[in-house]
């Protein structure tokens, strides 16, 4: 039976940033033992709401109340992270805030007590051991954080919150950097914590995970509460429709028809071991009429492969060939001229020039082409016409072709890049995290257009940390771990578990594929 007094209550929270209404009279309750999933598209107001809860922002209207130790509800003073921590609110951000040179034990104690306090380490170790026994958050407390895996670092972050006696735990996109097996381990821990009375707010965009771990789902849209669902009575379609505000069209993928080799890596190595870009003896081929999905935990070499395909790096050893011709210099312009197009991972910094117009950004890679240049002068009329057509075709929400790109939201910047990439019908497409931050409806449209590009004969490499996305798109899988690459084969012969083991470098999964 639900405790009649919630652990946490947000009442009519409203927050404005100038003319932007980020949160509009949002209310929610969280009870003991409940895992509440908080969903919404990019810009829906989730982050603002959690920053108000944790005291980083001050709301314009409304209040935050927490269950006090005497059983009553106390109102938190606005804008006080210290008060939020003291009231038992813990938050684990997507990007961890740990001191890499300290042990797990000292990271957990950091900010709570002096690290050199006589006798404190023993008391802390005993308290943490009890938390580990109750939660299942097993981790080597004496190893330096720099030597821990990503999943272990996340456990240290959660232990840090529980060590401070958190009764409410907020997790922001907690599985973004985990393998499927690590994610399932996290869900087991969350279920155990909830069973012990902890309240959990779980922020995610992965609907399968939300349906697996939560008890209740709250959806935000355009700064307002769009609705709530009991997880037991929900499905993907109902959640997606609520997030977008209308029915979302499903994308169906037919098998690709692989043709000639468009891009080939032959024993390519790059960088030093341990670097995010480092690659060791990587070989694979990308064919026309095919979508290849590249899976891996972030930082295992995906950025190196992307840099090579984009013309931002050249192999330290080995050969990269484009339609049979070796690529010997780092020359993005030359690769664009040969039909290579990219959707970069960091769209705001690498994808657009913020101070240039939408029209300029769409034409930026083709300004020397006859379509946009005459006698050495830019044809502004042609550039605006292309941009106007792209804005309409790709639903880029902006004031017009002359608007500066920096004024666009992240999702609309992504649509702008998609228009620039696909409208010139490239022969090779690098799609790096193509739908990160997009709402469900926009994701479906991006997927539809990527599949259509493949069906026109393009060779497509999709790099994504979302396995659901890769299984929705890929004809074939590659997996990268610690700079080494495994060709996992056709998608229809694979499942999430196998890909997850390969992402973790499990040799038995490689042996099973080879047999």
Instruction: Identify whether residues 364 and 324 lie together within a single domain.
Output: no
Does residue 464 form part of some domain? Answer: yes
Q: What is the pLDDT of residue 358?
A: 87
DSSP-derived 3-state class of residue 385: helix
Q: Which residues, 6+ apart, have CB-to-CB distance to 476 below 8 Å?
A: 290, 291, 292, 293, 487, 488, 489, 490, 491
Q: Residues 165, 168, 173, 175: is their CA dihedral positive or negative?
A: positive
Closest listed residue to residue 462, CA positions, set 484, 446, 438: 446
Query: How many domains, in total, are found in the chain?
Result: 3
Instruction: Identify whether residues 316 and 439 lie together within a single domain.
Output: yes
Q: Are 351 and 430 in contact (CB under 8 A)?
A: no
Instruction: Identify whether residues 307 and 383 lie together within a single domain.
Output: no
Residue % of the chain over a pLDDT of 70: 94
Q: Are 259 and 457 in contact (CB under 8 A)?
A: yes
Averaged pLDDT of the chain: 88
Q: Are 59 and 14 in contact (CB under 8 A)?
A: yes
Q: Which residues, 6+ apart, have CB-to-CB distance to 479 below 8 Å?
A: 294, 295, 296, 485, 486, 488, 499, 502, 503
Instruction: Identify whether residues 288 and 224 lie together within a single domain.
Output: no
Of 401, 423, 445, which residue is a domain's last? 423
Does residue 318 form part of some domain? Answer: yes
Q: Are 202 and 122 in contact (CB under 8 A)?
A: no
Q: Which residues, 6+ apart, have CB-to-CB distance to 181 below 8 Å?
A: 497, 500, 501, 504
Instruction: Identify whether residues 302 and 386 lie together within a single domain.
Output: no
Q: What is the pLDDT of residue 244?
A: 78
Give me the DSSP letters along 94-132. Answer: SS----TTSBHHHHHHTTTS-TT-TTHHHHHHHHHHHHH
Task: Taking residues 19-47, report their average pLDDT.
Answer: 91
Does residue 287 form part of some domain? Answer: yes
Residues 443 and 438: their CA atoms lie apart, in Å, by 6
Task: Taking residues 252-274, report their average pLDDT.
Answer: 90
Q: What is the CATH number of the domain that holds 335?
A: 3.40.50.300
Instruction: Identify whether residues 328 and 369 lie together within a single domain.
Output: no
**What is the CA angle 171-346-47, rounded to 5?**
30
Q: What is the pTM of this model?
A: 0.76
Instruction: Identify whether residues 325 and 357 lie together within a single domain.
Output: no
Does residue 224 form part of some domain? Answer: yes
Residues 375 and 210: their CA atoms lie apart, in Å, by 57
Please write the tens of the pLDDT for every residue from 328-358: 998 988 998 899 999 888 766 777 888 888 8
Instruction: Identify whether residues 261 and 303 lie together within a single domain.
Output: yes
Main-chain dihedrals φ then ψ at residue 492, nearest 5 degrees: -70, -15
Q: Are 62 and 14 in contact (CB under 8 A)?
A: yes
Does residue 346 form part of some domain? Answer: no
Please write the tens of the pLDDT for every residue from 305-315: 999 999 999 99
Helix axes 496-503, 507-514, angle to 10 degrees: 130
CB atoms inside a 10 Å sphere around CB 169: 23
Of 225, 244, 263, which residue is a domain's last? 244
Q: Which residues, 6+ apart, have CB-to-CB distance to 446 below 8 Å?
A: 414, 418, 434, 435, 438
Does residue 239 form part of some domain? Answer: yes
Question: How confident is residue 174, by pLDDT bands cut at 50, 70 and 90?
Answer: confident
Does residue 207 form part of some domain? Answer: yes
Task: Taking residues 288-299, report their average pLDDT.
Answer: 93
Q: What proportions of the chain, in percent to the nearest 5, are helix, strand and coil?
A: 35, 25, 40
Of 213, 244, 275, which residue is a domain's last? 244
User: Please, what is the end-to-end C-alpha distance for the chain in angstroms?
Assistant: 51
Please write the tens of the pLDDT for every residue from 55-70: 999 999 999 999 987 7
Please write the tens of the pLDDT for every residue from 365-414: 776 666 667 766 777 888 888 888 888 888 888 888 888 888 777 778 88
Task: Taking residues 83-105, report their average pLDDT.
Answer: 89
Q: What is the pLDDT of residue 141?
A: 93
Instruction: Identify whether residues 231 and 257 lie together within a single domain.
Output: no
Q: Which domain holds residue 503?
A: 251-339+425-514
Instruction: Identify whether residues 121 and 86 lie together within a single domain.
Output: yes
The helix/strand count (H/E) of the chain reads as 17, 22
Task: Taking residues 248-273, report their average pLDDT.
Answer: 89
Instruction: Identify whether residues 172 and 96 lie together within a single domain.
Output: yes
Q: What is the pLDDT of residue 457?
A: 96
Does residue 1 form part of some domain? Answer: no
Task: Taking residues 443-471, report their average pLDDT.
Answer: 92
Instruction: Identify whether residues 87 and 185 lie together within a single domain.
Output: yes
């Amino acid at each position: 039976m639900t405790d009649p007094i919630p652990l946490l209550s947000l009442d009519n929270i409203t927050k404005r940033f100038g003319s932007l209404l980020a949160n509009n009279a949002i209310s929610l309750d969280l009870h003991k033992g409940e895992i509440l999933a908080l969903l919404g598209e990019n810009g829906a107001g989730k982050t603002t709401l959690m920053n108000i809860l944790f005291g980083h922002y001050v709301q314009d209207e409304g209040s935050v109340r927490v269950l006090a130790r005497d059983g009553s509800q106390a109102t938190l003073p606005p804008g006080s992270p210290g008060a939020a921590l003291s009231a038992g609110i813990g938050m684990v951000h997507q990007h961890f805030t740990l001191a890499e040179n300290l042990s797990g034990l000292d990271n957990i104690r950091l900010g709570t007590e002096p690290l050199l306090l006589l006798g404190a380490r023993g008391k802390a170790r005993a308290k943490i051991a009890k938390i580990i026994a109750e939660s299942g958050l097993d981790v080597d407390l004496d190893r330096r954080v720099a030597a821990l895996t990503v999943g272990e670092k996340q456990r240290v972050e959660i232990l840090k919150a529980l060590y401070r006696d958190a009764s409410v735990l907020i997790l922001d996109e907690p599985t973004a950097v985990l393998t499927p097996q690590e994610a399932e381990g996290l869900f087991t821990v969350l279920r155990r914590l909830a069973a012990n009375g902890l309240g959990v707010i779980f922020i995610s965009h992965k609907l399968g995970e939300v349906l697996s771990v939560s008890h209740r789902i709250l959806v935000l849209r355009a700064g307002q509460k769009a609705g709530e669902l009991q997880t037991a009575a929900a499905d993907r379609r109902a959640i997606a429709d609520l997030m977008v505000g209308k029915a979302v069209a499903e994308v169906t993928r037919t098998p690709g028809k692989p043709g000639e080799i468009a891009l080939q890596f032959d024993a390519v190595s790059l960088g030093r071991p341990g670097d995010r870009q480092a690659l060791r003896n990587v070989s694979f081929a990308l064919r026309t009429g095919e979508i290849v999905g590249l899976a891996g935990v972030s930082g295992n070499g995906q950025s190196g492969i992307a840099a090579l395909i984009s013309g931002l790096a050249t192999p330290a050893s080995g050969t990269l060939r484009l339609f049979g011709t070796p690529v010997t210099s780092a020359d993005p312009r030359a690769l664009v001229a040969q039909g290579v197009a990219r959707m970069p991972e960091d769209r705001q910094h690498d994808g657009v020039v913020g101070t240039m117009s939408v029209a300029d950004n769409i034409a930026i890679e083709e300004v020397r082409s006859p379509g946009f240049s005459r006698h050495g002068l830019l044809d502004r009329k042609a550039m605006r016409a292309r941009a106007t057509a792209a804005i309409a075709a790709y639903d880029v929400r902006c004031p017009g072709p002359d608007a500066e790109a920096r004024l666009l939201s992240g999702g609309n910047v992504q649509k702008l890049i998609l228009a620039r990439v696909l409208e010139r019908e490239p022969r090779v497409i690098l799609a790096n995290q193509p739908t990160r931050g997009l709402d469900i409806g926009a994701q479906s449209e991006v997927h539809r257009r990527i599949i259509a590009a493949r069906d026109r004969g393009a060779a497509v490499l999709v790099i994504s940390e979302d396995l659901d996305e890769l299984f929705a798109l890929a004809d074939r899988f590659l997996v990268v771990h610690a700079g080494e690459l495994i060709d996992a084969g056709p998608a229809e012969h694979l499942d999430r578990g196998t890909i997850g083991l390969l992402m973790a470098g499990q040799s038995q999964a490689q042996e099973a594929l080879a047999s």
